[in-house]
Chain A
Amino acid sequence: MAKIVLTNASITINAVDLSTYANSVTVTYEVDSVETTGFQDTGHTFSGGLQNVSCEIALMQDFAATKVEATVYPLVGTQTTVVIKASSAATSATNPSYTLASTFLASHTPVAGSVGELSMTTLSFTGGTLTKAVA
């Protein structure tokens, strides 16, 4: 298996392809560990609980119609679907697609940055359910 340098990741937020505006993405797949330790156990034991997924995406800001800000602003406080792939190529076993369904966007920073810096907005989607597709 080849090692991968991310150069062509695919970022789709609420069905809108914002790949060319993103320069950082992190999908975190986590399942709550529910303690099931009982008397007479000799160590902690756990079972898997609910998914606790999140996705953080950094986007270069664009206020033009239908671009970054116009797309993201109406999503704050709502649930949506985010789809991430390591490459924009077709979904396959070597390029799986990760879909966060019903994930919640709590905040968006329309204007953020210091003088001389690129204007960015970092989105943190939390909750929902993550599924992985290979075809």
Chain B
Amino acid sequence: MTNYKVLTNMLADCKEGDLVSEKDFAGANIDALVEAGHLSIIHKAIKEETDK
């Protein structure tokens, strides 16, 4: 499952900096949110590196 970082304070039930996944946006068009700049994709390798 792809994870995302929230980049704005315009998303329902989220705030900037939150880490979310696809299931947090059921019914939403995730690609559109990424394209609009509301979310950025966190690649798994980067996340694991960050978690260390």
Contacts and interface: CB of A to CB of B under 8 A. Distances in A.
B10 A14 contact: no
B45 interface: no
Contacts of B32: 14, 71, 74-75, 78, 80
Given A16-B38, A66-B36, A66-B37, A80 B7 contact: no
Contacts of B11: 15-17
A126 interface: no
A122 B4 CA distance: 30
Interface string B1-37: 0000001101110000000000001011101110111
A86 interface: no
A102 interface: yes
Q: Give the interface size class of chain B.
A: 10 to 19
Contacts, number: 56
A66 B27 CA distance: 19
A99 to B, nearest CB: 8
B29 A78 contact: yes
Interface in A69-84: 70-71, 73-75, 78-81, 83
A102 B29 CA distance: 10
B26 to A, nearest CB: 8
Shortest 4 CB-CB distances between A and B: which pairs? A74-B32, A81-B27, A15-B28, A74-B35
